Structure formats: structure tokens, C-alpha cells
Chains A and B, each alone.
Chain A
Amino acid sequence: SSTIKWRMQTYAGPSLAAHVIDPAIEMFNKIAGDRMQIELFYADQLVPTGELFRAMQKGTIDAVQSDDDSMASPTEVTVFGGYFPFGSRYSLDVPVLFNQYGLNEIWDEEYSKVGVKHISAGSWDPCHFATKDPINSLADLKGKRVFTFPTAGRFLSQFGVVPVTLPWEDIEVAVQTGELDGIAWSGITEDYTVGWADVTNYFLTNNISGAWAGSFFANQGRWNELPEDLQTLFRVCCDQSHYYRQWWYWGGEANLRVNGDKMKLTTIPDEEWATVETAAVKFWDEIAAESPTKAKVVEIFKKYNADMQAAGRPYR
């Protein structure tokens, strides 16, 4: 008789959430009806994003949508969540890696260790720079204070980028108040959707990752308490959300590059950008050296990319 109630917090602010999560949760609530209702809260609304993992683990929050990196999850796979430099080329790479190349199992194992249920991973947009001043060469990156993901930031700092992490909702204002020179956090769709296109002038078409990998998580105990059909329903709605993002970003990226009028496009020539790609290979090896689990994931990335290369068009 009594309705099960969950509190869920997403990494996204309301304007982005309208696409990346709201529809899925509305759907869930509509179908589950009196049996279960999920209340969705946005970026930093109940707890700051950096505390999300702990809050979920303790049950203060029942479920979370985020990447592993931003919520600082204490696992071996954290660095691969978010934008792992050059880890993917297209957004379809992410579900394939998880469902067909074994990342699901690794994630499941890692999160079980820390008492959190990893429900499913999905892909978001590619990672591009949106800046106030144009970037035409690697030298232009030097000294730029850029809002980006922790791991991407670590990688980019070798090119003189100064990575800054702030609450997501504060980014637009931080660009205006001079705290930031730019953003390396999203593709052009998000830039336009959340208002960053209004405060920056340039969009760099070279990207450091083809798709952000983010996941749905739940408190383990709370998840176990759910009857099986509600668990299934929840999974289905997560999948709906993954699907929505596939076409929303894919279409949006192309459309806004061609038809958007708020940002000018710039490009670093391929030969020069190759240095960044080479640096990524080195970065992967450094990460792999940190632990056996990380080595395993990097191994999978390498295998996957080799396969795609060998498959040829349209894969690579």
C-alpha cells in the first residue's frame, strides 16, 4: 500500500537534465504509479557533487546519475568515467565497450566492493573546448583556466591548461567573472543548451574524447529491497535515457556546428593535434601502471580500438 520513495540526484543542472534524465524519470514515475516514485534533484541540490558517492553509499541519496570521475568514487575505475582522453571515438563505442567487451563486469565488481549498485553505463557527448579567445594551435592552450573533468584535466595540464573544478551550476557565471577562460566539458549541444555558448565565443572542433561515459547507480541495500519488476522497470528507463542521448547529442553536434550562430569554429591542424593523441597513448600506459584493474581496462580499450581500426569504415 505504501509507495516506495527514492531520492535521486543527477550531476546535471535543470536545463541539461531536461534532456539527459527528466524524461526517463517521468516515464518511470508514470508507469510505477503508486508503487514507487522517484524524486529527482539536480546538480549540487541536496549534496555537493563531490559528496554524491558517499551520500549514496550511506543512503542519504538512493540513486545517482553521474560519471565516476566527478563524484570521486573510490574505485579503480574512476579515471575512466567522464572523458577518458581518447578512450572513445563515437558515442556508440561506450555501450559496446560495456556490453560486449567486458567493462560491465569490471564495473559491477568494483562497485560491489564499495557497497554501491552499478546499474548501467551510457554515453554522452564528445569533449570539446569552448573558450572566450580562439584556439588555433596548441600554444593557445597555454595558461587557459578551463573547467574540465579531473582526469581530463590531469591529462591536459601537460599542454599548459590549468584545470579548474567548480560546481557545474557556477560555470556560466565563473566565465563571466573571469574565474575561467573556457570550458572543456562537453560538446556543442550542451554549450548551447545550458547557456555556455552565450558567454564563450569559440568552439574547437578537435575533441579529446568521443563520448563521455556516465552511469546510473543506486544504494545497494535500497536496490536489493526493490521487487524484481521494479528493478527491471528502472533498468528499462535508464536504457531509455541512454537511447535518448544517443540521438539527441549525435544530431545536435552536427546541427549546431553547421547552423549555430553563437560560437565560431576553430581547428588545430591534424599534424599538430597528433601530438595530443600520442600523449594520450603515453597517458594510458601511465594509468595502466597504477593497478592491475586499471591495466585490464586499458587493455580492453586497446583491443577495442584495434578491432575498430581493422574493421575499417564506417568504424574508423
Chain B
Amino acid sequence: MPKLLRYYIHGVDWFNRKIGRFVMYGIFVMMAILLWSSFSKTFLTPSMWTLEMAQFAMVAYYVLGGPYSVQMGSNVRMDLFYGEWTLRQRAIVDAMTVFFLGFYLVILIHGAVGSSAYSLGHFGVEPYTFYKDLVMAYITGGKEAASEIIGYIERSPTAWRPVLWPIKLIMVFGFILMLLQAISELLKDIARIRGVDY
């Protein structure tokens, strides 16, 4: 296995593990929000942000935790045949079918990029150009130039009206990490097929 690929595997796995091990404590964040919700409802005025905040926390939890759960092998498979195969056979099939998973993730990312660009005020159909312009503007002209590019900021249609770009960017980020993890799994499978260490 070329050094570069080995770095990739270890780098991605390390990063996703760190992220996963961080967001796993999100369970307590969700609990705290929900407890505050029932507490404030009983003893004070109920807060109007709790339910939505808990939803955001839940999304961050499962999207960012996804890659780590793949590492842990938590994602079930239908193993009618799979279960019978040797490790090598599994690696061979996985190395092919992971492209289907990859395709799914690419489409998810594409949707998320479009939606997050929209949440920052891009109404067109070229979210990637939008992001490129945004980054370029930031680099050349700083914050002010970047805010020129940003348009109508999307807010959640609730009375609390939180902006939606943070959670949408988290989703973009998480889905990309998931794709990186899938590629890492592919490389590991190739290594297994060729019987080399990684």
C-alpha cells in the first residue's frame, strides 16, 4: 500500500474517530435541553427554542457521528450471503458495492451544498460557484467583501426564527466526512484483497 494511501486511511480514521468521540457526548446535550424544557415548562415560562434546539442537536449527533459508527461497524448489513463469505470475499464485494454507497453520499452532499448555499442567500443553481466566490471574496476582501456575496439569510419558519445555515453546514461537513470514511473503507478493502497491511 503506497504511503500516501496509508496516510489517508489513518488520517481520515483518526479524524472521524475524534469527531465521533466528541459528538457522542451530544446525548447529554440533548438530555439537558429536554430536561430544561420540562423544567421550564413546569416552573417557569416554557422556552420557545428547546424543541428546535434539540432537533439541531440530534441532527449534528447522527450526521457527525455517522463516520465513527461506520468505523465501529454499527451499520447493519443483510448477511444472507455476506455472512457466509470469507473476509477476502467480503472485501471484494464491498470494494465494489461501496461505490453505490458513495453515489448516495455524493448526491446527499450535492443536495446539502445546494441547500446550504440557499440558506446563505444563493438562489441560483450554482452553489459551488457561490461558495468559490464567497471564499475568494473573503480571502481578497475580508469579511466585508464576503458579506456582499451573502444574500437573504434563511431562517426557520418558526417564531424563534433561528438561522439555518449552521445546521446545514454541519450536514454538508458530516456527509463529506462520511464519504471520506467510505473511501477509507474502500482502500482498506483493497488492501485486504491484495493481502497487504495498511
Is chain B in direct contact with chain A in the complex (CB below 8 A)? yes
Residue in A71, A142, A164 whose CB lies within 8 Å of B51: A164
Instruction: Decide yes or no whether A114 CB sits under 8 A from chain B.
Output: yes
CA distance A71 to B154 in the complex (A): 11
The 3 closest A-B pairs by CB, nearest first: A153-B159, A163-B159, A165-B158
Instruction: Decide yes or no whether A54 CB sits under 8 A from chain B.
Output: yes
Instruction: Decide yes or no whether A57 CB sits under 8 A from chain B.
Output: yes
* B157 x A143 contact (CB < 8 A): no
- The A134-148 residues at the B interface (CB cut-off 8 A) are 142-143, 145, 148
Residue in A115, A145, A150 whose CB lies within 8 Å of B157: A150
Instruction: Decide yes or no whether B139 CB sits under 8 A from chain A.
Output: no
Q: In this complex, what residue of A is CB-closest to B151? A: A74
Instruction: Decide yes or no whether A105 CB sits under 8 A from chain B.
Output: no
* B45 x A142 contact (CB < 8 A): yes
* A160 x B45 contact (CB < 8 A): yes
Instruction: Bin the interface of chain B by size.
Output: 20 to 34
Instruction: Decide yes or no whether A62 CB sits under 8 A from chain B.
Output: no
Instruction: Decide yes or no whether B184 CB sits under 8 A from chain A.
Output: no
* B152 x A74 contact (CB < 8 A): yes
* B123 x A164 contact (CB < 8 A): no
CA distance A153 to B49 in the complex (A): 13
* A153 x B45 contact (CB < 8 A): no
CA distance A230 to B127 in the complex (A): 33
* B123 x A74 contact (CB < 8 A): yes
CA distance A153 to B160 in the complex (A): 9
Residue interface mask B24-67, A partner, CB < 8 A = 1: 00000000000000000100011110011000000000000000
* A154 x B159 contact (CB < 8 A): yes
Within 8 Å CB of A157, what residues of B?
48, 159
Instruction: Decide yes or no whether B129 CB sits under 8 A from chain A.
Output: no
Within 8 Å CB of B157, what residues of A?
49-50, 69-72, 150, 165
Within 8 Å CB of B115, what residues of A?
51, 54
20 more A-B residue pairs beyond the given contacts A143-B45, A153-B48, with a C-beta to C-beta distance below 8 A: A50-B157, A54-B118, A58-B114, A71-B157, A72-B154, A72-B156, A72-B157, A74-B123, A142-B45, A148-B159, A150-B158, A150-B159, A150-B161, A153-B159, A157-B159, A160-B45, A162-B48, A164-B51, A165-B52, A165-B158
Instruction: Decide yes or no whether B21 CB sits under 8 A from chain A.
Output: no
Within 8 Å CB of A153, what residues of B?
48, 158-159
Instruction: Decide yes or no whether A179 CB sits under 8 A from chain B.
Output: yes
- The A105-147 residues at the B interface (CB cut-off 8 A) are 114-115, 142-143, 145
Within 8 Å CB of B51, what residues of A?
164, 166, 179
CA distance A101 to B51 in the complex (A): 40
Residue in B46, B154, B161 whose CB lies within 8 Å of A143: B46
Q: In this complex, what residue of B is CB-closest to A73? A: B157
CA distance A115 to B118 in the complex (A): 13
Within 8 Å CB of B48, what residues of A?
153, 157, 162-164
Given contacts A74-B123, A114-B123, contact A50 B156 (CB under 8 A): yes
Kindly provide the distance from the CB of A286 to the nearest chain B CB, expressed in whole angstroms: 14
CA distance A238 to B48 in the complex (A): 36
Residue with the greatest number of chain B CB neighbours at <10 A, chosen from A50, A74, A115, A154:
A74
Q: In this complex, what residue of B is CB-closest to A116? A: B123
* A145 x B125 contact (CB < 8 A): no
Offer 12 A-B interface pairs, CB within 8 angstroms, sorted by A. Answer: A50-B157, A51-B115, A58-B125, A69-B157, A70-B157, A74-B121, A74-B154, A143-B41, A162-B48, A164-B159, A165-B156, A165-B158
Instruction: Decide yes or no whether B155 CB sits under 8 A from chain A.
Output: yes
Residue interface mask A209-245, B partner, CB < 8 A = 1: 0000000000000000000000000000000000000
Within 8 Å CB of B161, what residues of A?
150, 154
Kindly provide the distance from the CB of A63 to the nearest chain B CB, expressed in whole angstroms: 18
CA distance A51 to B116 in the complex (A): 12
Kindly provide the distance from the CB of A68 to the nearest chain B CB, expressed in whole angstroms: 10
Q: In this complex, what residue of B is CB-closest to A72? A: B157
